[in-house]
Amino acid sequence: MLAQIKNELIDGTTATDMAELFKALGDPTRIRLIYALSQKELCVHDLCSVLDMTQSAISHQLRYLRNMRIVKRRKVGKTVFYSLDDYHVEEIFLQTHEHLTHK
């Protein structure tokens, strides 16, 4: 049994990538951004208004989340809209929220 578990254990690279994802989700500001984007695609101006933060602070967090493939962007003219990268991100977020609120 232990040999099977050892054989099926995730590799070091995957473990590191997963830890980096959890690290990205380990910031309250980024969690609030993800929540807002789980509701609707938003531009930086809208996110500044919703989170009561500066454009610079929002842009910094969005760049980090984009690099982690948690959010994606779509440009329309000069306006850039942000949304969650895919349904996996939303599922991770929703499952975590459900776990924390479950009694």
In this predicted model, what pLDDT tens digit does every residue of 34-89 receive, in sequence order?
A: 999 999 999 999 999 999 999 999 999 999 999 999 999 999 999 999 999 999 99
Predicted model pTM = 0.86
Q: Report how far residue 86's alpha carbon sits from residue 70's, in angstroms, rounded to the nearest whole number.
A: 8
Residue whose C-alpha is closest to residue 46's, from 62, 31, 65: 62
